[in-house]
Structure 1
């Protein structure tokens, strides 16, 4: 009997780490972007790729905050889930964690089509920090994993084109100020999950747009895609062949093999690598991951979603360590097959004013041979895909979905943030299908709502770390015309800094110092400005003053104050060590709470401090005792570099997160 598609709530219980509080310090520094291409390398790329490589790359995380308060202590915790299923497929979605599809189960065979992570473990891979591996994630904003990786999305039931139900996810993406939606539905009896995606630009100016759907699958797969070539980002080499960047150039490589190795088997690559497949114009867009028996997952789409990619961790020790880091030791690893708006993830696409871009994706099982001559193999898989889901049917499903994209949601199943509601109120936008009601406005939006309605930013009612700053031009204009209180000057300086007017930002912060009841947020901003202009001694002095002021001002040992002291203490220690003020750095260290000093990030700083004090054996002992830097960033080499300063011995495996050959 055919089961009608239904949507239901579910609660998942699994070992999970706490996300913890956001970092309260505004992210003023430029992005530490490892995925970038040298300007001169663009001469070797097609014209449209070269244009999109240089179009509006992201330089700042503002107005988003960094999420680095998570840990690695996993305990059984419950996660709210939404399940959409028919008699063929069951998709499990986490609306509170980026709308991730964490499971896609083929019911007739009982096969899990995705890599399903058995734990929830945040790691420092999103643009703003916290991210987790597994499932299908929706990456919007800019090159990298979305800032919404661990954030709640709005979710609701919506009528589907076939008379059933869709699950709609939507939110306001803050880096680019764009609303988007993801509609999931299962046509009756279908073995393919349909996903309609729409990104809108309601502004009167063009906007850079980015989208990649990332699909984690077990790495013991072979990856098939309709391509004979791929774009491979790679490092430039310095003296002695040492790479001087994770990704600096793009070169074409043959598919499936180059340098005598078939790279379509993820474990064949020794190091982490991205392969952006060059799918010929006019060819159907698809990518598949098949196991040894020829069973697996295929993803296909309408042609707007142009790019296809394979990401592998590789078989080297660094890749293996990252695989262990992101899940439970002893469980299987994963690779990612991906689909995006451009050829590569290094590009951003122009979205015209008051326009939108939309497409349809389909995910389902595929059975096809995976061994044999490449061209014949790909052709056979494509024919098998055509038999179970013709290309024309995908186009028809897209056409059928489009009128329903504007349908107003029915039952609300989950709530996202209030930022969309604030923007809709400000501009009086009409966004059919994706309501951002005033009921979603919360404490974070309250001061900005008052600025919008009264023209004045309210002063905090109690002493606490300052809230986030809105930096878009319209909010900056409002701050500039608001009464010049110290609190307003602080936020105005952050907005001016984001706009590139650094001199004016410094003047705003300096004006506020004379009357501000709380000095440390302003001093910290001025210290960052000093560092960015090369005045490291002055920056260290200001950081020391800021930390001293914060320690006097803190009111309790609650989450907000502890996060502020940890964040500012970390930056202060780094600034003081940079100018060799070890005694002052030691004084800061002693004022940190014991629980903060026990964190892995601070244990690493302790080892650096001990080494700066000439206590090499004690610094080495920190490594021997063991620590875990929970928020270690992708591509970061701070641990291996400090180890190399301590000893010529090989880096212990537990600390080896190197993602490239011959890293220092």
Structure 2
């Protein structure tokens, strides 16, 4: 390598073909139920900030988002856009179309990818909106869980900063908290680290609960250890408890070696606020990803799937072609159970840096944890000390509002609709020069709402909005069934069930729709009117018998009310094809078991059910197997237990 090539930085836009499952269509039903990540019940001798933060900020639901659950388990070759930043030391590959994921980070000196990057992308039900995939580094914002934007395209552009360096900027309007976030990634010439500057802006005049965690997947193998500058950690094991542990001696095991964990675990390292926060993974040669940052990104975590049958099954489920990984993570709070108070009008910024610390494995892997931490801390400082990170932070703040010069990817049109809405209503909105939300990005998904803003009436929409000013606009269409329906959705999302129910029924007087009956069903069930709620679900499913999303929700409601006979009746009513696969097949088996037809239920399970969107932490197929096949070993394909 000559000196010129070593000091050059290039940014290139390209395509990569990868085996990938199809995301499928959005679920048409608004997300009015409780979010998948409920508040964690934390008790015990824990710091007050963890206890208080864990009781604050959890949303009632994830409205106005929609589920991304239309995927399956069949993968085919697909072309994905890539943005590649490269200098003489590192090569970073981003996927703007999939949440801006940093997919690869290669140390050119060793030829090693510092991240776990699977050979295919298989979606699974781990995110707040369901769809998620393993690998790389992802950016999580809003509330506990994998971000609503993790499987959606971000706006992406290239800009040139004051130093003449090209910067990849990605940004989006996050609809749950109604904030704007941006991610600036750059790789200075000859730099041993990739820099990523994050900015989150709250344009609202009120506080919002804020959450951010950056999650990095790293290879898991017997030669790899994870190290952070802490002598203890707050650990969970998917059983509902949190406790302070010594991660090097937790139940007799040194759990800083991911392969030593028998079950799925989270370790939130208790790092002093006086220290520069970092975490790294070191393989048998001492190579591996080092994650360091400015002080604002306080938390550091190790996540492992564990070596039990359930953990191994999840690894196979997420990476069908093989490969095991752990995650090292960094967040604004000390744990992922907490939200922080972000004041109205606030702007939060920080810088993250990623590289290979190249530690001495003899020291980093030794039994003396203090010596390992001290050595790795010196290597991190050599890689990038706190002063250099802060200098990068200051530099990034200087160009944060610079206009992007070359667009390379387009996110949603919701930011554009929001900017128009707020300008017309004289509602605060951040300066858009650095993160432009252009009218041209508005798609058919958002178009009905733009028409409503522009006074063109409202003919209905397959997407959803939230906010009192939207209600005011919809109230101007008092005899319009779609307007009444969407007013009901907004009331329902706020928890105003009585008012929502009145609006649902008013819309039904004008037009009978499955969505309105489903809304009444949810309200009735929430308020203890079980029989009425189930009858409303039956009516909804009869109006849209082809909707598998509605049928699955209805069957789940019947089974939750211990009405297995009603569930079987619902299946017969809809004439749903007896595919005996997927979630519908599982719910059919559960209903059969519920009416005592255990042999028929067992036959469905033994034929091999595959529920593509099986939720992380749930294992209903195993439970059903043990019920209908009590004397038979549970097949490995049904072993998803996290505990």
After TM superposition, the score normalised by the length of structure 2 is: 0.94
**In structure 1, C-alpha distance between the alignment counterparts of 2:369 and 2:98, rounded to whole Å:** 38
Cα distance in 2 between the residues matched to 1:126 and 1:47: 28
Alignment of 1:58-77 (within 5 A): 58-77=59-78
Q: Is the 8 A contact 1:569 1:592 kept in 2?
A: no
Q: Which runs of 5+ in 1 are unaligned?
A: 235-245, 461-465, 552-561
The answer to whether the Cα contact below 8 Å between 1:95 and 1:155 also exists between their aligned partners in 2 is yes
The residue correspondences of 1:423-572 to structure 2 (distance < 5 A) are 423-428=418-423, 429=429, 430-454=431-455, 457-460=457-460, 467-516=462-511, 518-551=512-545, 562=546, 565-572=547-554
Aligned twin of 1:367: 358
Match of 2:258 in 1: 266
31, 37, 44: which one pairs with 2:35? 31
| Pairwise CA distance, 1:639 | 1.0
Provide the C-alpha distance between the structure 2 equivalents of 1:283 and 1:248, rounded to a whole number of angstroms: 30
Tell me whether 1:573 sits opposite 2:575 in the alignment: no
- Give 1:356 shift: 0.5
Task: Tell whether the 8 Å contact from 1:566 to 1:592 is kept in structure 2 after alignment.
Answer: no
> Would you say the 8 A contact 2:478–2:484 is kept in 1?
no
Q: Deviations over 1:421-440 (max 9, x none)?
A: 01111112323310001111
3-state SS, counterpart of residue 261 of structure 1: coil
Q: 1:386, CA displacement in angstroms?
A: 1.3
- Give the match's secondary structure for 1:204: coil
Distance change >3 Å, CA 37–CA 491, structure 1 → 2:
same
Which one is further off, 422-431 or 181-190? 422-431
Work out whether residues 273 and 298 of structure 2, in 8 Å CA contact, stay in contact via their aligned partners in 1.
no
Q: Secondary structure of the equivalent of 2:448? A: helix
Distance in 1 of aligned mates of 2:314 and 2:156: 32
State the aligned residue count. 625
Work out whether residues 122 and 132 of structure 1, in 8 Å CA contact, stay in contact via their aligned partners in 2.
Answer: yes
Find the residue that maps to 2:183 and give its secondary structure: strand
Which deviations, in whole Å up to 9, do the C-alpha atoms of 1:466-506 show, x marking residues without a partner? 51221234323433454342111111111001112111111
Give the SS at the match of 2:15.
strand
Q: Does 1:642 align with 2:634?
A: no
Q: Distance in 1 between matches of 2:65 and 2:478?
A: 25
| Gaps in structure 2 of 5+ consecutive residues | 424-428
On the 8 A contact 2:564/2:595 being kept in 1, the answer is no
Q: Provide the alpha-carbon RMSD of the alignment.
A: 1.7
User: 1:118 offset after TM fit, Å?
Assistant: 0.8
Give the C-alpha shift of residue 34 in structure 1.
Answer: 5.2
2:381 match: secondary structure: helix
Counterpart contact for 2:199–2:349, Cα < 8 Å: yes
1:232 equivalent in structure 2: 235
Mapped to 1, the partners of 2:260 and 2:575 lie a distance apart of 46
Q: Does 1:289 align with 2:291?
A: no
Paired position in structure 1 for 2:328: 337
**Structure 1 range deviating more: 611-620 or 123-132:** 611-620
- Matches of 1:160 and 1:381, distance apart in 2: 32
Distance apart, 1:588 and its partner CA: 2.6
Inter-partner Cα distance in structure 1 for 2:323 and 2:562: 45
CA distance in 1, matches of 2:40, 2:357: 35
Q: Are the counterparts in 2 of residues 540 and 579 from structure 1 also a CA contact under 8 Å? A: no
1:261 to partner: Cα distance: 0.8
User: Deviations along 1:331-363, whole A, 9 cap, x unmatched?
Assistant: 220000000000001111111111210000000
1:530 positional shift: 1.5
After the TM superposition, which parts of structure 1 deviate over 6 Å for at least 4 consecutive aligned residues? none
Relative to the length of structure 1, the TM-score reads 0.91
Whole-angstrom CA distance in 1 between matches of 2:353 and 2:475:
48
